[in-house]
């Protein structure tokens, strides 16, 4: 306890993080959400070890539309592929798209929201008009318009940053249409933060505007960004699923939405193949629910006064 | 003490905040008004001198402090630091040399400290941003020195703490340490003890007085408390509605006030023990008028028990009533 020389900030930070985690993990919803999330992240990280390489019509192992059995735990699809295999590989695509588009959305939203709120005046007005523009832009229409253009330019083959072109479009479109929400929240929080006395103090002690934003405002925005980031992920998973369901996915990199789309086209519902529709459906539901749970728990942890509201 | 050249000089300093008229007013061409927070102040602070700026809330005393620390931009007049005009200087890098020499202590220490920064980072911030240290060893040394000077001992114990883990008095000491770290020549202290327990106040004031004695640092002490000003300051300036009404040595202002407002302020202070020696003026009536509608003539006349016709028509100039003692009252002599 009593060391002669106390190292500075790292110890204080470590203590703060430990305290935060203890509080966060005391919520049941956080525990449930984290367990689900870790499970899906592990599945998405090593799909080949768990279920072997992605099956196609050529290397399919089973009969057509076989119900779940010992051999095929989640049954097979209309060309005899193992649904478990597809769902596990789909987890990787779905999660990657959701998380990467959230990163885009958070980076762009935070930068624009913070700049607008901090500088105010004309900067604020113009950045917020830009935000409004993206706020009302429907992700579906945008994706449907952009995808053919990108496919035309890029060609159907090839990959952009490891993604098939149409998936890359989905990724960018989700990022583009969800940052406005983050920017609005960050701006309003910045407006209240910049009136605090510690910003005045930072100015008096000579900090530059950039340093004030990065060292003083940004750390105080982390609660809002983290809690809303989790909700953005949940939304991104839904949008990705819907866009893929509409046929914007790519069969070579099937996400859960693509699987739902295939199942629907194969007539899984009328054929009574509940496993084919149900497996990806439950996955989408579970993952987005766990992100919402985590988001709410983060919100409660950072903002204890909200706890009274059920 | 104020025998050497002044370190800081305010020349008819003016801060008006424009009032945004509504669309209706603009269409009709009505002139937009302004809040005249500071309306022409002349003040000088000598090297190592402690000047107290006394006034009610709304008198503009905080705005004066914000102008000196370059947090607010004056709309008129001049801010001279060692004879150099600093009025127009802007931007964090251009102001670096000035920030190095002029620092501020804030009223609400809890608000003035970023809740997510440790004490070390808070005190180190000016040293880092003003580039006053070359390496970490030097930084640690300067931070320790500043914390010790502000009375936080041993300094190491406080490095990793967060503001919410400190008591009110300790927080104010951290704010003071942050201002001291750069070894400034002038500190603007905006009500540094008004949020503290009475028992802590004396300690914090002692820290400030010691600093002046040790480093001959000048201090502009902003307060609403006249006895406190007398206790700490060499000179007292009394501010009313954006204008200085009286200025003089601490003893003169406290024991021989010439302006009715100063007298009223003094009478408003409860005294322990006998109330002998009090002037017979009744307590002040009403509130400070809005700085958006400054009364014509002497701005104090609506509340002044001694007001007569001339006060309602003409604004009195600062009249010399004694050595270093000026009073802006028609009755002063």
- Spell out which residues of chain B touch residue A4, defining contact as CB-CB under 8 Å: 156
What string of DSSP letters covers B102-120? EEEE-S-HHHHS-TTS-HH
pLDDT at position B126, please?
93
Whether A200 sits inside 8 A of B116 (CB atoms) is: no
- Distance of alpha carbon A289 from alpha carbon B291, whole angstroms: 55
Contacts for B177 with CB less than 8 Å, ≥ 6 apart: B123, B143, B146, B147, B149, B150, B152
pLDDT band at A308 (very low <50, low <70, confident <90, very high): very low
Give the distance from CA B28 to its chain's centroid: 40
pLDDT at position A7, please?
43
Supply the DSSP symbol for A245.
I
What string of DSSP letters covers A4-62? SS---THHHHHHHHHHHHHHHHTSHHHHHHHHHHHHHHHHHH-HHHHH-SPP-SSS--S
Answer CATH for A26-50+68-308 from 3.30.43.10, 3.40.140.10, 3.40.50.150, 1.10.3720.10 = 1.10.3720.10
Report which of residues A6 and A288 the model is more confident about.
A288
Please determine, for residue A290, whether its predicted confidence score (pLDDT) is greater than 50: yes
pLDDT at position A10, please?
56
Contacts for A211 with CB less than 8 Å, ≥ 6 apart: A202, B129
Average pLDDT over chain B reads 86
Residues A224-282: tens digit of each pLDDT: 898 889 989 998 999 899 988 888 888 788 899 999 998 888 888 888 888 888 899 99
Residues B73-101: tens digit of each pLDDT: 999 899 999 888 988 888 888 899 999 99
pLDDT at position B276, please?
53
Report which of residues A289 and A80 the model is more confident about.
A289
Q: What are the beta bridge partners of residue B80?
A: B9, B85
What does R_g of chain B's alpha carbons equal in angstroms?
A: 21
Please determine, for residue A62, whether its predicted confidence score (pLDDT) is greater than 80: no
Interface test with B, best of A19, A192, A200, A201 (most B CBs within 10 A): A201
A196 touches chain B (CB under 8 A): yes
Backbone dihedral region for residue A72 (phi beyond 0: left; psi -120 to 50: alpha; all else: beta): beta
Q: Which whole number is the average pLDDT over A284-292?
A: 93
Contacts for A295 with CB less than 8 Å, ≥ 6 apart: A227, A228, A229, A230, A231, A234
Sign of the CA dihedral with B27 first, then B30, B31, and B36 last:
negative
Q: Which whole number is the average pLDDT over B105-130?
A: 91
Find the helix packing angle between A256-265 and A218-243, rounded to 10°: 20
Burial (0-12, 13-18, 19+ Cβ within 10 Å), B81: buried
Please determine, for residue B23, whether its predicted confidence score (pLDDT) is greater than 50: yes
What SS3 state is found at B68? Answer: helix
Supply the DSSP symbol for B287.
-
Q: Are B145 and B178 in contact (CB under 8 A)?
A: no
Whether A204 sits inside 8 A of B99 (CB atoms) is: yes
Considering only the beta carbons, identify the residue of B140, B159, B178 that sits closest to A205.
Answer: B178
Please determine, for residue A174, whether its predicted confidence score (pLDDT) is greater than 70: yes
CA distance A225 to chain B (A): 15
- Domain spans in chain A, listed from the N-terminal domain onward: 26-50+68-308
Considering only the beta carbons, identify the residue of A13, A197, A209 that sits closest to B111.
Answer: A197
Average pLDDT over chain A reads 85
Q: Which residues of A206-224 are buried (b: 16+ CB within 10 A; e: fewer)?
A: bbeeeebbebbbbebbebb
Residues B183-233: tens digit of each pLDDT: 999 999 999 888 888 888 888 898 888 888 888 899 999 998 888 999 999
A12 touches chain B (CB under 8 A): yes
pLDDT at position A205, please?
92
Backbone dihedral region for residue B118 (phi beyond 0: left; psi -120 to 50: alpha; all else: beta): beta
Tally: H helices and E strands in chain A? 13, 0
pLDDT at position A3, please?
35
pLDDT at position B314, please?
85
Domains of chain B: 6-272+279-327 (3.40.50.300)
- Distance of alpha carbon B149 from alpha carbon B183, whole angstroms: 11
Strand order, beta sheet including B235-240? B102-105, B186-190, B218-223, B50-54, B235-240, B243-249, B325-327, B319-322
pLDDT at position A1, please?
35
Considering only the beta carbons, identify the residue of B92, B104, B160 that sits closest to A207.
Answer: B92
Nearest CA among A172, A199, A204 for reference residue A117: A199
pLDDT at position B272, please?
59
Residue percentage of chain B with pLDDT more than 70 = 93
Residues A91-126: tens digit of each pLDDT: 998 999 999 999 999 999 999 999 999 999 999 999
pLDDT at position B8, please?
92
- Spell out which residues of chain B touch residue A201, defining contact as CB-CB under 8 Å: 104, 106, 112-113, 175, 178
Contacts for A242 with CB less than 8 Å, ≥ 6 apart: A140, A257
CA distance A20 to chain B (A): 13
A19 touches chain B (CB under 8 A): no
**Helix, strand, coil shares of chain B as percentages rounded to 5?**
35, 20, 45
Locate the chain B residue with the closest alpha carbon to A17: B116
Q: Which whole number is the average pLDDT over B160-182?
A: 90
- Distance of alpha carbon B134 from alpha carbon B27, whole angstroms: 58
- Within 10 Å of residue A48's Cβ, how many Cβ atoms? 11
Q: Are A205 and B176 in contact (CB under 8 A)?
A: no
Whether B71 sits inside 8 A of A204 (CB atoms) is: yes
Considering only the beta carbons, identify the residue of B126, B157, B162 that sits closest to A206.
Answer: B126
If interface means Cβ-Cβ distance under 8 Å, which residues of chain B face chain A?
66, 69-71, 92-93, 95-96, 99-100, 103-104, 106, 108, 111-118, 120-121, 125-126, 129-130, 140, 156-157, 159-162, 175, 178, 182
pLDDT at position B281, please?
55
How wide is the angle at C-alpha B99 spanned by C-alphas B93 and B100, nearest 5°? 105
Residues B266-308: tens digit of each pLDDT: 887 766 555 555 555 556 777 778 888 888 888 888 888 888 8
How wide is the angle at C-alpha A175 spanned by C-alphas A169 and A180, nearest 5°? 140
What SS3 state is found at B171? Answer: helix
pLDDT at position A150, please?
78
Whether B160 sits inside 8 A of A205 (CB atoms) is: no
Backbone angles phi, psi at B193, to 5 degrees: -115, 0
């Amino acid at each position: 306890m009593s060391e002669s020389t106390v190292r500075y900030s790292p110890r204080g930070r470590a203590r703060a993080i430990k305290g935060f985690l203890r509080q966060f993990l005391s919520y049941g919803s956080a525990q449930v959400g984290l367990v689900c999330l870790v499970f899906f992240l592990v599945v998405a990280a090593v799909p080949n070890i768990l279920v072997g390489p992605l099956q196609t019509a050529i290397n399919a192992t089973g009969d057509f539309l076989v119900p779940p059995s010992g051999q095929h735990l989640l049954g097979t699809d209309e060309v005899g592929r193992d649904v478990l295999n597809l769902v596990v590989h789909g987890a990787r695509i779905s999660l990657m798209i959701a998380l990467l588009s959230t990163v885009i959305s958070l980076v762009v939203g935070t930068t624009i929201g913070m700049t607008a709120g901090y500088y105010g005046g004309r900067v604020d007005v113009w950045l917020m008009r830009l935000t409004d523009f993206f706020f009302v832009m429907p992700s579906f229409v945008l994706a449907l318009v952009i995808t053919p253009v990108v496919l035309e330019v890029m060609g159907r083959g090839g990959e952009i940053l490891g993604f098939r072109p149409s998936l890359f479009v989905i990724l960018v479109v989700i990022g583009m249409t969800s940052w406005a929400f983050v920017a609005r929240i960050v701006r309003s929080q910045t407006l209240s933060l910049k009136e605090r006395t510690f910003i005045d103090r930072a100015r008096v002690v000579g900090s530059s505007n950039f340093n004030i934003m990065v060292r003083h405002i940004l750390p105080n925005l982390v609660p809002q960004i983290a809690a809303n980031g989790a909700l953005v992920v949940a939304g991104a998973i839904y949008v990705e699923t819907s866009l893929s369901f509409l046929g914007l996915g790519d069969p070579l990199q099937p996400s859960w939405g693509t699987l739902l789309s295939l199942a629907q086209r194969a007539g899984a519902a009328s054929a009574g193949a509940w496993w084919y529709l149900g497996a990806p459906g439950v996955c989408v539901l579970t993952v987005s629910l766990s992100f919402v749970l985590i988001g709410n728990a983060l919100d409660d942890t950072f903002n204890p006064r909200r706890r009274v509201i059920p | 003490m104020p025998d050497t050249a002044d370190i800081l000089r305010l020349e008819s300093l003016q801060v008006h905040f424009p009032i945004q008229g509504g669309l209706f007013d603009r269409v009709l061409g009505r002139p937009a008004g302004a809040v005249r927070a500071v309306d022409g102040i002349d003040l000088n602070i000598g090297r190592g001198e402690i000047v107290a700026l006394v006034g009610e809330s709304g008198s503009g005393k905080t705005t004066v402090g914000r102008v000196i620390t370059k947090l607010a931009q004056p709309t008129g007049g001049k801010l001279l630091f060692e004879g150099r005009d600093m009025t127009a200087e802007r931007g964090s890098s251009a102001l670096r040399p000035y920030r190095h020499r002029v620092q501020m202590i804030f009223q609400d220490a809890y608000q003035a400290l970023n809740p997510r920064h440790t004490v070390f980072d808070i005190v180190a911030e000016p040293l880092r941003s003003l580039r006053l240290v070359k390496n970490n060893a030097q930084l640690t040394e300067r931070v320790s020195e500043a914390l010790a000077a502000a009375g936080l001992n041993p300094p190491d114990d406080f490095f990793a703490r967060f503001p919410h883990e400190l008591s009110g008095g300790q927080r104010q000491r951290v704010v003071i340490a942050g201002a001291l770290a750069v070894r400034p020549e002038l500190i603007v202290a905006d009500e540094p003890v008004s949020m503290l327990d009475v028992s802590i106040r004396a300690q914090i004031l002692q820290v400030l007085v010691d600093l002046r004695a040790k480093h001959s640092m000048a201090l502009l002490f902003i307060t609403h408390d006249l006895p406190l000003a007398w206790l700490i300051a060499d000179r007292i300036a009394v501010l009313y509605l954006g204008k200085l009404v009286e200025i003089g040595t601490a003893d003169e202002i406290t024991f021989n006030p010439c302006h009715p407002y100063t007298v009223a302020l003094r009478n408003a202070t409860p005294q322990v023990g006998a109330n002998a020696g009090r002037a017979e003026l009744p307590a002040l009536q009403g509130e400070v008028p809005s700085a958006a509608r400054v009364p014509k003539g002497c701005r104090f006349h609506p509340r002044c028990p001694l007001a007569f016709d001339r006060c309602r028509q003409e604004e009195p100039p600062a009249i010399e009533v004694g050595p270093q003692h000026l009073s802006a009252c028609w009755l002063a002599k």
